Amino acid sequence: MTDASPAAAPPRRRLAMPAMRAWHAVIAGGFLVAWLTGDSDALYIPHQVAGYAVLGAVVLRLVAGLVATKAPWRLPRPSLAAARAWLATGRGRNPLFAWFAVALLVTVGVAAASGMAAHWIVWLEDLHEGASTVSLWVVLGHIAFILFLFGGRRVVAALWRRIAAAVRPSIAEETAR
């Protein structure tokens, strides 16, 4: 007879989620620090350190994803077929998670890598600024998606109504119906 309790899980499996959470904290914290210090000449060193931490976290995630054979470290493999199947049945893992993971790794990775390279290749500074802006929007979309899926539907809906009201008052009336 086998014991299926979490305590009986192999050591690797028990460490996978805490390690993933630690990686997530490094990349989220690094991105936040890099974003907040990006326009300050006085805070250029913390901006660089945060950017290097983010780049290291993205590279670590990509290497782990290529080597890993199982979730949560295996790289996501988004597909339209998986999205169609999920939309039709509503069962299994939402494929938008995979699409968001890829979008986040690409945009944040390009922002971090172009920031590092912009030190030597000056024209990459524009790419770095553009990629960091796109990254911010993808991160905000990711946060909204998580809030929406995990009980924050009312919070996201109320936030959307406020944004819509600020942009165009008639939109707020339409979404309230």
Question: Which residue ranges make up each domain of the chain?
Answer: 6-131
137 vs 75, residue with greater confidence: 137
In this structure, is the dihedral angle defined by the CA atoms of residues 123, 60, 96 and 177, taken in order, positive or negative?
A: negative
124-161 b/e (C-beta count within 10 Å ≥ 16 → b):
beebbbebbebbbebbeebeebeeeeeebeeebeeeeb
pTM (predicted TM-score)? 0.70
Residue 43 is predicted with a pLDDT of 92
Mean pLDDT over 108-129 rounds to: 93
Condensed to tens digits (0 to 9), the pLDDT of residues 71-94 reads: 666 766 767 787 777 777 777 677
Mean pLDDT over 108-125 rounds to: 93
pLDDT band at residue 152 using 50, 70 and 90 as cut-offs: low
DSSP 8-state assignment for residue 177: -
CB-based contact 140:132 (threshold 8 Å): no
Mean pLDDT over 119-144 rounds to: 92
Token readout for 46 is 């913390």
